[in-house]
Amino acid sequence: MRAELERAIAEVRERTVDDKAALVVFSGDLDRVMAAFVIATGAAAAGLETSMFFTFWGLSALKKKGVKVPHKGFKQRMFALMTPDSSEGLGTSKLNFFGMGSVMLRSMMKEQGIASLEELMQMARDLGVRTTACTMSMDAMGIEREELLDGLEYGGVAAFMGDAARARVALFI
């Protein structure tokens, strides 16, 4: 009888979740990336082991400012030219007006004593939030590791699914 009950408990245990949160950051808009970091730091502060998976436009937020990589193809160079060169260059998803929107948003948040995106990113690091750059997107857009911030992990969709499938909260941002 005990064995039976133990088996039943083990079966149920396989259908449970871990105290984790897993976010996909697909967007490269300042407002959405900020929301992602607010949620990530909030999740970490609430005791969830939190990971962020940056893919596609989101990779711009992870770029180190001013790093130039030689030998890029033409399309990759065009792409790099037309996307932000670091978190500081992100525009807003609406009312951007060639960057005015993000200047205004950042200044409004600063006046209210709200952490800037860069401060939120540091907070996330301090709270142990894991940050993964999507290698498939990097290949597609011709982004090299030396263009990205230090301390990142690298992985594909399997890395994200590994976290998300066990997580309490998984969001696509």
Give least dist CB 56 to a second copy, A. 6
CB nearer to a second copy: give 151 or 158: 158
Give least dist CB 67 to a second copy, A. 20
> In this structure, what token pair is assigned to residue 29?
């808009």
Phi and psi of 153, rounded to 5°?
-100, 160
Distance (Å) of CA 1 to CA 11, 13, 97 = 15, 18, 70
Amino acid at site 69? V
DSSP string, 29-77: -HHHHHHHHHHHHHHHHTT-EEEEEE-GGGGGGGBPTT---SS--HHHH
Near a second copy by CB under 8 A: residue from 64, 65, 67, 95 = 95
> In this structure, what token pair is assigned to residue 54?
């940056």
Near a second copy by CB under 8 A: residue from 69, 104, 127, 149 = 104
Residues 41 to 70 in contact with a second copy, rule: CB under 8 A: 41-43, 45-46, 48, 55-57
Near a second copy by CB under 8 A: residue from 71, 80, 107, 132 = 107
From CA 51, how far away is CA 166, in angstroms rounded? Answer: 12
Give least dist CB 2 to a second copy, A. 6
Amino acid at site 53? F
Residues 121 to 160 in contact with a second copy, rule: CB under 8 A: 136, 139-142, 156-158, 160
Q: Is 71 in the site for a second copy (CB under 8 A)?
A: no
Find, among 172, 164, 155, 157, the residue nearest to 17 by Cα: 164
Binding site for a second copy (CB under 8 A): 1-2, 5-6, 8-9, 12-13, 15-19, 21, 24, 26, 28, 31-32, 35, 38-39, 41-43, 45-46, 48, 55-57, 73, 75-76, 78-79, 82-83, 93-95, 104-105, 107-109, 111-112, 114, 136, 139-142, 156-158, 160-162, 164-173
